[in-house]
Amino acid sequence: MRIRTLTVSELNKYINKILTIDPILNHIALKGEISNFKCHTSGHLYFSLKDEKSKINCVMFKGNTKNLTFKPTDGMNIMIYGSVSTFERDGQYQLYVNSMQPVGLGDMYVAFEKLKLTLEKEGLFSKERKKAIPKFPKKIAVVTSPTGAAIRDIISVIERRNNCVDIFIFPVLVQGKEASLQISNTIDKVNNTYDDIDVIIISRGGGSIEELWAFNEEIVARSIVRSKIPIISAVGHETDYTISDFVSDLRAPTPSAAAELSVANMSNIKNRIDNFYEKLNIVVQNSLQNKKNKVLNFTDKRFLAYIENKIQQDKQELDALQEKVLLYSNYSLEKCKTNLIKNASKLESLNPLATVSRGYSIVLDSKKEQILTSVKNIKMKDRLEIILKDGKLSCTVNSKREEELNIGQSFKY
């Protein structure tokens, strides 16, 4: 029997035709777990569907994804509907997905997305409400299982990076029905009982979504939000995300990473300090050497020139100060002179002799101690002295008459 020779393209096209007309493969329902999930920039979804022994590559084009009611992720069990065909270019058969729906864990994913949306609307995921993790904590509380690998990793990393930090372990269940309540109560207890804890790490190792579910419960999320102490969430592997990751102050991809983020590496800090010290020492030594070189190069001739220059500068400054003093002295003298003339004019107007020069006289008692201004103070036969503008008179009172004087009336003698 003669066998016809085919090209690779012809073979792939024939296989594709066989698969396409098969009634079972053309309308198939398949159940399995998603892995290697990828959402392409084109909007198409590429992933594998696997069970305990095998896997098949799947593709869901953008036109079919608009009907999805959930977000597919690795580890999710789903039921898909579509057809099996080949991608002729690569000669690989794959499943073209028309629709899919979650199976088994679907209710958990729905609950996860619902709570996530609720908390996000409340603003609990916003960066503004999150607290900063202290750079140099002294005491760290770790809320986790006391027997898991997570606590060993955390202790090992913290002790390696900074053995001066105290680690307080608060053992809790990290999976099962009672886990979420224990975790929530322990976070509240640390906040209410200890006022010297700087950071709280809540953590557990990797696992399925069912095993991590305690960290998706609302009671845990609310306790994290209430916490006055900054909280680092380190749940599962790097690809795992829980509600606690979104509401915590910092999300760490692994427990070991949480330990690294919580404490500074003292070895690195010491190296940086040593480097700074060396650089500072070099700068100081160079500066001292430069000063020393200047001193060594400072000959007697240069020193005398420096002194002379300094003296000349001081002379100029002294001359400038002298001019300022002279100007200020002249200004002060003129000001005093002006004030003196002004005050002299005032005194002149008050001088009683100026009044005498205008035709008036001054009457004194015989002892010349008191100026007499009233007839009432004078007795008969009193000796008086009268000062006029061109001399003095000594008089004896022979008579007196009291009379009210109105300003402005003419005198009658």
Token couple for 104: 């088994």
Cα–Cα dist 395/117, whole Å: 122
45-50 and 55-60 beta bridge pairing: antiparallel
Among 236-240, 282-286, 351-355, the range with the most confident prediction by mean pLDDT is 282-286
What is the C-alpha to C-alpha distance for residues 285 and 152, in angstroms, rounded to an integer? 48
pLDDT band at 54 (very low <50, low <70, confident <90, very high): confident
Q: Looking at the domain 8-104, which fold is it?
A: OB fold (Dihydrolipoamide Acetyltransferase, E2P) (2.40.50)
Residue ranges, CATH 3.40.50.261, the chain: 110-126+134-264
In the three-class reduction of DSSP (H, G, I as helix; E, B as strand; rest coil), residue 412 is classed as: coil
CA–CA gap between residue 116 and residue 93 (Å, rounded): 37
| pLDDT recorded at residue 413 | 44
Q: Residue 322, Cβ neighbours under 10 Å: how many? A: 10
Range(s) of the chain covered by CATH 2.40.50.140: 8-104
> What tens digit of pLDDT does each residue of 16-36 get?
788 777 777 888 899 888 888
Q: Considering only 43-57, 146-160, 239-253, 380-394, which range has the smallest mean pLDDT?
A: 380-394
* List of residues 6+ apart from 19 with CB closer than 8 A: 25, 26, 84, 85, 86, 93
Comparing 182-191, 216-225, 379-388, which segment has the lowest mean pLDDT? 379-388
Q: What is the pLDDT of residues 133-148, one digit of tens each?
A: 999 999 999 999 998 8
**Residue 89 contacts by C-beta under 8 Å, 6 or more apart in sequence?**
12
Of residues 66 and 16, more confidently modeled? 66
- Please provide the CATH number assigned to the domain covering 110-126+134-264: 3.40.50.261
Residue 1 above 70 pLDDT?
A: no
Residues 6+ apart with CB under 8 A from 113: 70, 71
- Note whether 201 and 140 are within 8 A (CB): yes
What pLDDT, on the 0 to 100 scale, is given for residue 200?
97
